[in-house]
Amino acid sequence: MKEININNKTFEDIKHTDENGVEFWYARELQRVLDYKEWRKFYGVIKKAKIACQNSGISAFEHFVGADKTIKMPKGAEKTILDYKLTRYACYLIAQNGDSRKKVIALAQTYFAVQTRKQEITEKEYSMLTEDEKRFYQRDLTRKGNYSLNQTAKKAGVKNFDKFHNAGYKGLYNGETADDIAKRKKLRYREDILDNMGSEELAANLFRITQTESKLKKDNIQTEKDADMAHYNIGKNIREVIKKNGGTMPEDLPTPKKSLKQLAKENNKSLEALNK
């Protein structure tokens, strides 16, 4: 993602990279972009984010690195102010614990989720995968994500799962249902649309899935109508972020020449030939 125009500053504008090529954000700069006027209030959000990090079994010291600064005061005096170097995951946790009434917070949640869902493999390992390998990896995550989302949606009162999932697709794909997407991709009857997406399109759908499950749990949604609306709004919000970044809309991304099911069959045949 390239940029999100907020208060004449963007999340990319304030991103820094250290000598090892590792990206980070300064808390003081993030505070301004997230529209927090007072450091005192923003520091309260940081403390909640650090607790959430520790509760997830991850060391907060690795993601919230102290970076105090000395600033000049009147008459030549100096003052040390608290600051942090934040990883993308730390920024994501801050956004998750921020003031949900701020639209910028919702955008930040999606933006900083981009690289925090890689789970089993590292960023470097992921970048070294081929496009087809990335597709298999992202498809596996969407499969697991959809299973978990369905369990959460069921508890929220969802019974018509086709309608529920189509609500998410409609938000992300500007009104298109799963059938509409399949027709546009010229797929055969009952062919899986997710198996016929590139890694970028799969990633957008993974964010839709994980963020919707988080929304259902966080807001304790209990009706099918509210669950459908939440799924639609999450999809629409992700679409808005892509648009603000100047990215390619999901429906405009190219459909791979071969489905993952076809690639899997070919890979099995190749392995069988090698073993003969």
Environment class of residue 257 by beta-carbon count within 10 Å: exposed (0-12), middle (13-18) or buried (19+)? Answer: exposed
Closest CA to 242 of 184, 176, 171: 171
Cβ proximity of 1 and 111 under 8 Å: yes
Q: What is the pTM of this model?
A: 0.58
Cβ proximity of 215 and 221 under 8 Å: yes
| H-only helix segments in 173-259 | 178-184, 199-218, 224-244
Distance CA 162, CA 167 (A): 9
Tokens 């701020």, located at residue: 102
Would you place residue 271 in the very low, low, confident or very high pLDDT band (cuts 50, 70, 90)? very low
Q: Tell me, what's the pLDDT at 21? A: 73
Percent of the chain with pLDDT over 90: 52
Q: Tell me, what's the pLDDT at 1? A: 36
For residue 267, is pLDDT > 70? no
Would you place residue 5 in the very low, low, confident or very high pLDDT band (cuts 50, 70, 90)? very low
Q: Tell me, what's the pLDDT at 4? A: 40
Distance CA 31, CA 24 (A): 14
Would you place residue 177 in the very low, low, confident or very high pLDDT band (cuts 50, 70, 90)? very high
Closest CA to 207 of 97, 88, 131, 113: 113
Q: What is the SS3 assignment for 84? A: strand
Q: Tell me, what's the pLDDT at 12? A: 76
Q: Tell me, what's the pLDDT at 235? A: 97
The phi, psi pair for 275, rounded to 5°, reads: -85, -10
Widest CA span of the chain, in angstroms?
Answer: 83
DSSP structure class, residue 6: B
Question: Can you say whether the dihedral through the CA atoms of 139, 144, 148, 153 is positive or negative?
Answer: positive
Question: Can you say whether the dihedral through the CA atoms of 112, 3, 107, 175 is positive or negative?
Answer: negative
Q: Which structure tokens are listed for 181? A: 């997407």
Percent of the chain with pLDDT over 70: 87
Average pLDDT of the chain to the nearest whole number: 85
